[in-house]
């Protein structure tokens, strides 16, 4: 199972760069605070948001497919119906993991990601999973 505890351990330990789709400029929103936490514990964060230029001191990309550097994890803060398209974009940039945040689940996105050779986690908070292990 893709989101078993040992797979999540492996993802968190083996990942360095996390693209955050739906990253927010607004402190207090999970889509801002979760990437801020991840950045504070050493992950490289690449914000993806079509309406911002800089978030958390990082340049923002309009679309996932605009990113030209390697991405380990695509962390998603967008509504479930948008996730199949995000899964396709994650495959296009050769990401290793598609992670749908807590409250976001989509079986089609799971199929697309897994058929594209990616690990897949849904309906879990990457910050909570990291904090629980540290």
pLDDT in tens, 20-50: 999 999 999 999 999 999 999 999 999 999 9
Question: What was the pLDDT predicted at 15?
Answer: 98
CA distance 101 to 59: 22
Check pLDDT > 80 for residue 2.
no
In the chain, the number of structural domains is: 1
CA distance 81 to 104: 9
CA 50 to chain centroid: 16
Average pLDDT over residues 6-28: 97
Check pLDDT > 90 for residue 3.
no
User: In CATH, what number is assigned to the domain containing residue 35?
Assistant: 3.40.50.720
Q: Which residues lie across from 33 on neighbouring strands?
A: none
- Residue 103 belongs to what domain range? 5-133
């Amino acid at each position: 199972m893709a989101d078993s505890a040992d797979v999540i351990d492996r993802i968190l330990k083996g990942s360095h760069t996390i693209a955050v789709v739906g990253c927010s400029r607004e402190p207090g929103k999970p889509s801002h605070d979760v990437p801020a936490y991840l950045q504070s514990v050493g992950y490289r964060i690449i914000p993806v948001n079509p309406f911002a230029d800089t978030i958390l001191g990082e340049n923002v990309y309009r679309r996932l497919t605009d990113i030209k550097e390697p991405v380990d994890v695509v962390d998603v803060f967008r509504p479930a119906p948008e996730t199949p398209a995000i899964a396709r974009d994650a495959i296009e940039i050769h990401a290793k993991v598609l992670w749908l945040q807590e409250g976001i689940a989509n079986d089609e996105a799971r199929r697309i990601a897994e058929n594209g050779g990616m690990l897949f986690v849904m309906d879990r908070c990457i910050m909570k999973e990291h904090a629980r292990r540290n």
